[in-house]
Structures are given as C-alpha cells and as structure tokens.
C-alpha cells in the first residue's frame, strides 16, 4: 500500500498543482502544512531545505514540478504515451515560463513600483504567453477541451491553478481567449475537482 506525504506551507503556492492531482485521481495522502513560524524547525528535514517535498514510501523528493510530474505519472494523468507525456511537459514548461516572469513582480515590495510593473506585464508580457498556450493547445489537444490528447492531464490542472492567479491580477485576462476560458471551465466541472475546490482550505496564497 503506497504512502504519500506532501510537505508545504499552509497555502496553495507551489504545492497546489500536486494537491489537485491527488484530488483528480481520488488518491489519499497526508497534506502536511507548516506555518511560517514552525518551518525553521523542519527545514533540515527536507533534502534541499525547501518545500514542497513529497515523501513516497519513505523516499523524499524535492522540486515542485518534478513532484507533480511523478504524481501525475503514478495516477495516469500525465499523457497516454511517451510523446504525449512530452507534449504535456512542453505545456507545463511554457506555463512556468510565464510564472517565472511574474513572480519577481508579485514579490516587489514597493507598491507603486509593483503597480507599474504589473501594468507592464499585463500589457506587454502576458499576451505572448497566452498566445503560446493557445498555439500548443491547437496543435496538441486533438480538438478537445484539454491541452493534450483530448483528456485531462496535469497540464490542465497547472493552468487552472496559474490561471486563478492571473485572473486575480486582471479578471479580464482571458476575455479574448475563449479556448483558455473553456479549458478552465472543463477542469472545474470534473466532479472530483469540483468537490476539492469547494472543500480546500481558504488561504491568503
């Protein structure tokens, strides 16, 4: 009987895609959340002193994207064959390119600067990324609602999670991107995911 423990802060952040994978697959795991003040005492327990970490049958894995890919493959949410897995990885990397551009802006402490950078990001940077997501979907989706191969994969779950953050910044972000809007709606409709979204803890991040 496989055991899974996921260690992270009490928030969505870089662990949420993995939580969504567990939920979509209907798989049980220990959802361990450390508050900021408790984290220092656990830091040395993690392979690289960072979280998230997945503990699978006693083996610890760091790196959020690697964790998510591992779980998706465990639960058949990673693509039907080797090439589809690669297509899913390509979508994931492309989504993460967008996240990488946004993270420093989100972290900016000077409020005025942050607002300026955010405006610039929305106007100049985000459109390219959204276009890229749609380009990949057009080529890989086989005409369906999901990014790859006409079935739900962790690429859709990641886009759902990242999409929520984008919409928080600009609720109109997907107005000219019907396919992306529709993709998120399809993810939300999946019964196990709908149930998870309803019941998950509400946290600031």
Partner 1 sequence: MSSGDLKFYYFDLQARGELTRLILAAAGRSYEDIRFGFDKWPEYKPKMILGQAPVLELADGTQLPQSLTIARYVAREAGLAGSDNLESAKIDAVVDTQKDVNETYFSKVFPEKDETKKAEELKKFLDETVTKHVENLGKLKKAYSKDEKYFVGDKLSWADLFVFQSIQALLQAVPEVKGKFGEQFKPLMDAINGNENIKKYLDARPQTAF
Interacting residues with partner 1 (CB under 8 A): 47-48, 56, 59-63, 65-67, 69-70, 73-74, 82-83, 85-87, 89-90, 92-94, 100, 132, 135-136, 139
Q: What is the DSSP string of 71-129?
A: HHHHTT-S-SSHHHHHHHHHHHHHHHHHHHHHHHHHH---HHHHHHHHHHIIIIIHHHH
Q: Which residue, 69 or 190, has its beta carbon nearer to partner 1?
A: 69
Q: Which residue, 87 or 153, has its beta carbon nearer to partner 1?
A: 87
Q: Which residue, 65 or 197, has its beta carbon nearer to partner 1?
A: 65
Cβ atoms 58, 30 nearer than 8 A: no
Report the nearest approach of partner 1 to the CB of residue 77 (Å). Answer: 12
Q: Which residue, 72 or 152, has its beta carbon nearer to partner 1?
A: 72
**Strand arrangement, sheet containing 30-34:** 30-34, 4-9, 53-56, 59-61
At residue 76, the 3 state secondary structure works out as coil
Report the nearest approach of partner 1 to the CB of residue 43 (Å). Answer: 13
Name residues whose C-beta falls within 8 Å of residue 170's C-beta, 6 or more positions apart in sequence.
122, 126
Cβ atoms 71, 52 nearer than 8 A: no
Report the nearest approach of partner 1 to the CB of residue 51 (Å). Answer: 13
Cβ atoms 5, 54 nearer than 8 A: yes
Report the nearest approach of partner 1 to the CB of residue 112 (Å). Answer: 24
Q: CA–CA separation, 85 vs 81, rounded Å? A: 6
Q: Which residue, 137 or 157, has its beta carbon nearer to partner 1?
A: 137
Report the nearest approach of partner 1 to the CB of residue 19 (Å). Answer: 17
Of 153, 161, 149, the closest CA to residue 19 belongs to 161
Q: Which residue, 139 or 194, has its beta carbon nearer to partner 1?
A: 139
Report the nearest approach of partner 1 to the CB of residue 48 (Å). Answer: 5
């Amino acid at each position: 009987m496989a055991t899974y423990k996921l260690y992270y802060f009490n928030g969505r952040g870089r662990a949420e895609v993995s939580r969504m994978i567990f939920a979509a697959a209907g798989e049980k795991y220990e959802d361990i959340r450390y508050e900021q003040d408790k984290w220092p005492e656990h830091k040395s327990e993690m392979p690289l002193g960072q979280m998230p970490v997945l503990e699978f049958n006693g083996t610890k894995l760091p790196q959020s994207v690697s964790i998510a890919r591992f779980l998706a493959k465990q639960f058949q949410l990673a693509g039907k064959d080797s090439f589809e897995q690669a297509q899913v990885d390509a979508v994931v990397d492309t989504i993460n390119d967008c996240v990488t551009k946004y993270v420093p802006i989100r972290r900016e402490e000077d409020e005025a600067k942050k607002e300026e950078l955010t405006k610039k990001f929305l106007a100049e940077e985000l459109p390219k990324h959204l276009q890229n997501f749609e380009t990949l979907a057009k080529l890989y989706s086989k005409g369906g609602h999901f990014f790859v191969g006409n079935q739900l994969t962790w690429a859709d779950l990641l886009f759902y999670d990242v999409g929520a953050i984008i919409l928080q910044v600009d609720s109109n972000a997907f107005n000219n991107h019907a396919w992306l809007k529709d993709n998120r709606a399809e993810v939300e409709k999946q019964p196990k995911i709908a149930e998870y979204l309803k019941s998950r803890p509400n946290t600031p991040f």
